[in-house]
Amino acid sequence: MKPAQLAQGAQLLFIALAAFVVHSFVSAAQDGEARAACTPLCAIRPAYANRNRTAPDLDLPDLDGKRVRLSSFKGKVVVLNFWTKTCRPCLEEMPALGDLHELLKNEGAVLLTVSTDESADDARATLRAVLGKDPPFPVLIDPDASWVSGRFGTRLYPETWFIDPEGVIRARIDGARDWTNPMVLDVVRMISRPSGCGLTFDRGKPRGDRRGICGETVGVAGE
């Protein structure tokens, strides 16, 4: 083989090797980004996660009788929690929700809770007994559950929804959780970005090409 041909072959080999290295680097970077984005979602183990459903609006009175609309918070991540006084796990997680409320303020996000109890006075008294003070987070009242059950389809409590700044439901959590776990804030940060994680959850099971990430992740305590 002539020297020129050897040189040309070596050059082609170098180009192919360089392309392989670049491809491997990009793939590793993308995989790392996917793991960073998806790990928090895997950790909280939602019953549902997707981005194909817009949250129905709510228009309910708060504890002082002021009407509050869910749509008024568009542009912010909203964590929406449904509860009732006859639900023991709901009451057990209230102190942690109070802590989450404070943390969400630093993220520019909002915690809203909706009670299906008979009246504002009833809900306020329940929370005072549990928290030892007035609730630090907004509490809306839906005594006949016409919004909670009729619009959101919620029947069992507690149930918590993560809604992105565009008003899209990104995750639903069934049951009480440890809301002080740092992974919860990581999920809030994840859904605040347009890209986020490409994983979906259906009936508590991860779906999609990256679902294997969830097999490596330990769920949040309290699930």
- 9 in a domain, yes or no? no
- 19 in a domain, yes or no? no
- 13 in a domain, yes or no? no
* pLDDT tens, N- to C-terminus, the chain (223 residues): 556 655 665 666 666 654 444 433 333 333 445 566 788 889 889 999 998 899 999 999 999 999 999 999 999 999 999 999 999 999 999 999 999 999 999 999 999 999 999 999 999 999 999 999 999 999 999 999 999 999 999 989 999 999 999 999 999 999 999 999 999 999 999 998 876 677 899 988 998 776 788 875 544 444 4
191-218 b/e (C-beta count within 10 Å ≥ 16 → b) = bbeeebbebbbeeeebeeebbebbeebe
pLDDT at 48: 94
Using DSSP, state whether 79 is helix, strand or coil.
Answer: strand
- 173 in a domain, yes or no? yes
- 156 in a domain, yes or no? yes
- 6 in a domain, yes or no? no
Running DSSP on this structure, what letter comes out for residue 181? S
State the residue range of the domain holding 108.
43-216
pLDDT at 82: 98
CATH code for the domain in which residue 166 is found: 3.40.30.10
pTM of the model as a whole = 0.80
Structural domain count, the chain: 1
Q: How many CA atoms lie within 13 A of 176 on its CB side?
A: 15
Structure tokens at 47: 């019953």
CA distance 102 to 42: 24
Contact 141, 130 (CB under 8 A): no
- 196 in a domain, yes or no? yes
Name the residue with tokens 């942690």.
96
pLDDT at 38: 86
pLDDT at 47: 95
